[in-house]
A and B are shown apart, each in its own frame.
Chain A
Amino acid sequence: MASNRWEWFHRWGSPKWYYQKSSVWTPWLAVLSVVLLGTGLVWGLAFAPEDVKQGNSYRIIFLHVPAAFLALAGYYIMAIAGAIGLIWRMKLSFIAMRAAAPLGALLTFISLFTGAVWGKPTWGTYWVWDARITSMLILFFLYLGVIVLTDAFVRKDSGDKAGAILALVGTVNIPIIYKSVDWWNSLHQPATIKLTSAPSMDASMWYPLLLCILGMYAFYFFLLLRSIRTRVVEQDKSKAWVKEIL
């Protein structure tokens, strides 16, 4: 029978290491995200020129696109964390997966909400069953599924495994869901509405957007690392290193 020495190693070894390292990283990430997001958003809100077709409402893009980016990337981060946890039985990885789920759901919500309020002045309606919007909505449900499933288990080990399996099945599903909704959408509504309104974006709009995307990445990882820190402490509540910290 296999020895569980590795599990032992991970269970006791890495959380402390992570906690120490992340206390160095998180302040830097915080500074980075404030600088990038701050500059990008102020630039985008106040200095970038108006869009010819959409007017000023396009300024929502500086939040909407970064949030949507990370909502999607966050799912893969969560699934990969889950896969690493399943394969190498790394506690820390499962903790990252658990932390990524609500954060991803939050970003999905933000991208849905900002999309809806952007849609009103642009298309005249808050909600259309557009391919992207619909698949974002389903992504939101997938996130909720992972959160609810992991929390449903009293035993954390089981919740970790279940969540990871579900997240992995979901990764196969996301492109399929997107493709199917895209196809369905083109069947129902001939391309009257295109979310990607500007194929060639002006540099004056593109630069702040890029800053915002980078800033949102930094902010995402800042929030994720912080959330993991709390969970790590909770996980190791009876360990000596946690007692030393407090």
Chain B
Amino acid sequence: MYFDSFAEFINMGGHGPYVWAAYGVTFVSFVIYLAAQRRARKEVERKIRNRIRRELNR
């Protein structure tokens, strides 16, 4: 480990807010993207299931 302590790691020699903002926003946007993908998938599956059910009932 390059840093001496965990606090220093978080602080990053004063540049902590910038570094963590960059990593945080990147992480959050990927999570949002993944969640959106998952939701889209579920939505598609739900629609298709409903369709199948409709066809079976007919």
A contact residues vs B (CB 8 Å cutoff)? 41, 45-50, 55-57, 59-60, 63-64, 67, 102-103, 106, 109-110, 113-114, 117-118, 120-121, 219, 223, 226-227, 229-230, 233-234, 237-238, 242-243, 246
A229, B38: Cα distance in complex, Å: 11
B contact residues vs A (CB 8 Å cutoff)? 1-3, 9, 12-16, 18-19, 21-23, 25-26, 29-30, 33-34, 37, 40-41, 44-45, 47-49, 51-52
Q: A229 contacts which chain B residues (CB < 8 A)?
A: 41
Decide: A230 and B37 in contact? CB cutoff 8 A. Answer: yes
| A interface: dominant SS | helix
A52, B52: Cα distance in complex, Å: 63
A238, B50: Cα distance in complex, Å: 12
Decide: A64 and B13 in contact? CB cutoff 8 A. Answer: no
Contact of A223 among B1, B13, B26, B33 (CB under 8 A): B33
Contact of B29 among A45, A48, A106, A118 (CB under 8 A): A106
Decide: B21 and A117 in contact? CB cutoff 8 A. Answer: yes
A55, B2: Cα distance in complex, Å: 13
Decide: B21 and A55 in contact? CB cutoff 8 A. Answer: no
Q: A47-B2, A110-B25, A113-B22 are in contact. Are A226 and B14 (CB under 8 A)?
A: no
Contact of B45 among A50, A120, A233 (CB under 8 A): A233
Decide: B44 and A114 in contact? CB cutoff 8 A. Answer: no
Q: A227 contacts which chain B residues (CB < 8 A)?
A: 37
Decide: A246 and B15 in contact? CB cutoff 8 A. Answer: no
Q: A106 contacts which chain B residues (CB < 8 A)?
A: 29-30, 33
For residue A235, which residue of chain B has the nearest CB? B44
Q: A46-B9, A237-B51, A246-B48 are in contact. Are A57 and B2 (CB under 8 A)?
A: no
A59, B49: Cα distance in complex, Å: 47
Q: A60-B22, A114-B22, A120-B18 are in contact. Are A237 and B47 (CB under 8 A)?
A: yes
A55, B16: Cα distance in complex, Å: 11
A31, B40: Cα distance in complex, Å: 23
Decide: A56 and B19 in contact? CB cutoff 8 A. Answer: yes
Decide: B41 and A56 in contact? CB cutoff 8 A. Answer: no
Decide: A121 and B15 in contact? CB cutoff 8 A. Answer: yes
Q: A109 contacts which chain B residues (CB < 8 A)?
A: 29
Decide: B29 and A63 in contact? CB cutoff 8 A. Answer: no
A106, B34: Cα distance in complex, Å: 11
Contact of B23 among A50, A63, A103, A238 (CB under 8 A): A63
A120, B17: Cα distance in complex, Å: 11
